[in-house]
Amino acid sequence: MFASLNLDPARVVAPVSRRTFGSFVEHMGRCVYGGIYEPAHPAADADGFRQDVLALVREMGVSVVRYPGGNFVSGYRWEDGIGPVANRPVRRDLAWHSLETNEVGVDEFMRWAAKADVEVMYALNLGTRGVQEALDVHEYLNQPEGTALADRRGGKPYGIGMFCLGNEMDGPWQTGHKTAHEYGRLAAETARALRSAEPGLELIACGSSHSSMPTFGAWEATVLELAYDQVDAISAHAYYEPVDGDLPSFLASAVDMDHFITSVTATADSVGARLKSKKRINISFDEWNVWYLSEFQARPTPVDWAVAPRVIEDCYTVADAVVVGNLLISLLRHSDRVTAACQAQLVNVIAPIRAEPTGPAWRQTTFHPFALTSRLARGEVLDIGITSPTYDTERFGEVPVLDAVATHDPATGDLTVFAVNRHRTDPVELTVPLAAFGAGLEVVEAWTLHDPDLTATNTQLHPDRVAPRAAELALADGSARLRLPAVSWTAFRLAPVNAGAGRPGS
């Protein structure tokens, strides 16, 4: 099979947003306790944070982390997690049927975020709480000294700029679930109050939990009609798995993500037009990943209430990694409207990083496309043309075999292409004409993630079973040519001759 890309540096979608490479830390399972935090571990620092995990987070290139939930936040009392640790109460977490010790709270997490060099996206509890709680936690986080909660914090304000106005309030599973009208009014009221305290905040309203929700579209329309002028973005959440062994549809999961994004932006723009507003609402895709959700839902609810139980610690395959790489392509492609995105979650819980108690931490297969995309995507996202054969899927009908996105950095001349071959059995011969970028490009690096065994995984005993390998890329007659193996994710970077020497990753 043959495919090609049409690239032009003048056809720019938007600048690459570093916030596209976000992640998510929720008080769920072993993400916090036994994940980022394990005081008894040999690699723990003085604050109890695992330095081996921190090193992998930095290697991934994570830019922003959403915290503290997730479903957890809709029952969370943030003040339980401040003050002397010995005095903090143990609470039930109804979302994941576990016990929360509150050993890690706001201050501890902010210390971890500083060590990881990530921005924090803070989620507010609008499930069981509301406006006053939002104002209180904002005062604790951001208010300079001189007020009761700011003085209780001590030290400098944390300066958090992004706040999620609740989590998945459209979902009946959510503690404090609300109708679109109930939630839209609460979100607007909370946003107005927060802007009275700090006008420049970026506020994110809850959108649909997934595109198959019966209220999808109508939820966004109602919420934004009530809160359009008070918020900056609306959230989108999506998880994907191979349903009933349908690998062809699973490999095309990004088709659904593309549809999700274009549908929400169309709805938001329609509301803006009706309101005669010049403002544009963007999307925070602050939960996305591969998740074997049907397996999780088939398990019975635990009888006991445990601290940090093992919850949805999915072991990811080669096919999962290819899908994750393709979802990143989709997010980059929509950089004009997707201004933040968070892969859920960071450690242990449906995560690219796994860590064992007193044992090692390692990279899952899905770690690699995220880390490479975060490192290589620079400059501007290009609006590219794709010529590709198609294949049939049960869920999405006929879809392109090839999917791709490209970034171009005008300052350095670097051109990076990310491409996925979704076909189960056949390679793709890809041609990328380069005439629009001038003469004298050379290959700086080229990587492919592929394995004949699509079920291969990385484990504690074999942590590097699956990893990107050097790809063979030829430059001839003004084009780049390479073979994309079946079910593979590929990234390559080109630079002006001699410009790539000595650069990171060169």
Provide the annotated active-site residues. 168, 287
Nearest to 486 by CA among 432, 423, 419, 439: 423
Tell whether omega for the bond before 70 is within 30 degrees of 0, i.e. cis.
yes
**Pairing relationship of beta strands 488-496 and 353-355 according to DSSP bridges:** unpaired
CA angle, 221 then 214 then 285, to 5°: 60
Whether 32 contacts 96, CB under 8 Å:
no
Can you tell me which residue has the tokens 């001839």? 476
**Pairing relationship of beta strands 469-470 and 441-449 according to DSSP bridges:** antiparallel
Sheet holding 306-307, edge to edge: 91-93, 98-100, 306-307
Interhelix angle 218-227/180-197, rounded to 10 degrees, is: 40
Interhelix angle 367-376/51-60, rounded to 10 degrees, is: 50
**Residue length, the chain?**
506
The residues, any chain, with a CB within 8 Å of residue 140's CB and separated by 6 or more, are 78, 82, 106, 149, 150, 152, 153
- Calpha distance 450→37 (Å, rounded): 33
The residues, any chain, with a CB within 8 Å of residue 454's CB and separated by 6 or more, are 247, 317, 318, 319, 487
CA angle, 416 then 290 then 351, to 5°: 85
Whether 376 contacts 456, CB under 8 Å:
no
Q: Which amino acid is at 241?
A: E
